């Protein structure tokens, strides 16, 4: 490491440094004229200092898979369950799944691995035509235990509404304390 980049002294600082380096790498790739998909693909090939990097790679790829389908031609957002799966990147899906299998080989569940697994189930709709909301809800249960941020709590509520009933999803939203919103 150079003098401008301090050595991390905790696991959370190490994870933050990994994200910082990945973001800087992707920004450099974009400045060099590469597409976001190309930049993320290159970032996924970087050597990472620990298994969290392997957890982070599939999540990043899984998110980018759907980039061409996220917005209409008039820049309107398209929810994931309404996206045209023909616009999703099959090569990126394959890469993401391979990275997710690698991350799973560590036999330790982490935030990024759970987020990637959730995205992977969504991506599975391209082959099956349906989304397994019960599996997504189960993964969100694990995610909120590890990383109970507002995003994971709201995602859990949506998954419960889709897997069970809208009332279950609403009840989960009601459980989020007002100071978190």
* pLDDT tens string 4-34: 444 545 555 666 666 666 677 777 777 878 7
Burial of 64 (0-12, 13-18, 19+ CB in 10 A): buried
Would you kindly state where each structural domain of the chain is located, as residue ranges?
14-128, 132-181
| Cβ–Cβ under 8 Å, residues 125 and 76 | no
Q: Which two tokens stand for residue 55?
A: 């957890």
User: Is residue 3's pLDDT more than 50?
Assistant: no
- The model's confidence at residue 169, banded by pLDDT at 50, 70 and 90, is very high
Torsion of CA 114, 109, 13, 156, to 10 degrees: 30
Distances (CA, A) of 13 to 26, 78, 173: 20, 35, 31
Number of Cα atoms under 13 Å in the Cβ half of residue 108: 8
Count of CB atoms situated within 10 Å of the CB of 93: 21
Distance CA 173, CA 96 (A): 30
- Tell me what pLDDT residue 108 has: 72
Beta bridge partners of 77: 71
Distance CA 113, CA 51 (A): 10
* pLDDT tens string 46-70: 655 554 545 556 666 666 788 888 8
Q: Is 137 helix (H, G, I), strand (E, B) or coil?
A: helix
The reported pTM is 0.68
Across 73-97, average pLDDT: 88
The rounded Cα 66 to chain-centroid distance in angstroms is 11
């Amino acid at each position: 490491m150079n003098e401008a980049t301090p050595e991390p002294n905790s696991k959370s600082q190490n994870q933050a440094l990994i994200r910082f380096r990945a973001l800087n790498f992707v920004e450099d790739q974009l400045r060099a004229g590469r597409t976001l998909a190309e930049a993320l693909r290159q970032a996924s090939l970087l050597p990472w200092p620990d298994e969290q990097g392997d957890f982070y790679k599939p999540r990043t790829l899984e998110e980018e898979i759907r980039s061409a389908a996220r917005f209409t031609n008039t820049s309107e957002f398209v929810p994931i369950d309404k996206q045209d799966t023909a616009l999703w990147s099959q090569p990126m899906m394959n890469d993401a799944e391979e990275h997710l299998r690698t991350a799973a080989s560590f036999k330790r569940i982490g935030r990024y691995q759970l987020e990637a697994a959730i995205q992977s189930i969504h991506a599975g709709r391209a082959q099956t035509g349906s989304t397994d909301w019960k599996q997504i809800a189960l993964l969100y249960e694990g995610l909120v235990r590890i990383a109970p941020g507002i995003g994971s709590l709201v995602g859990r509520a949506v998954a419960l509404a889709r897997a069970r009933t809208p009332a279950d999803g609403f009840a989960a939203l009601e459980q989020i304390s007002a100071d978190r919103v």
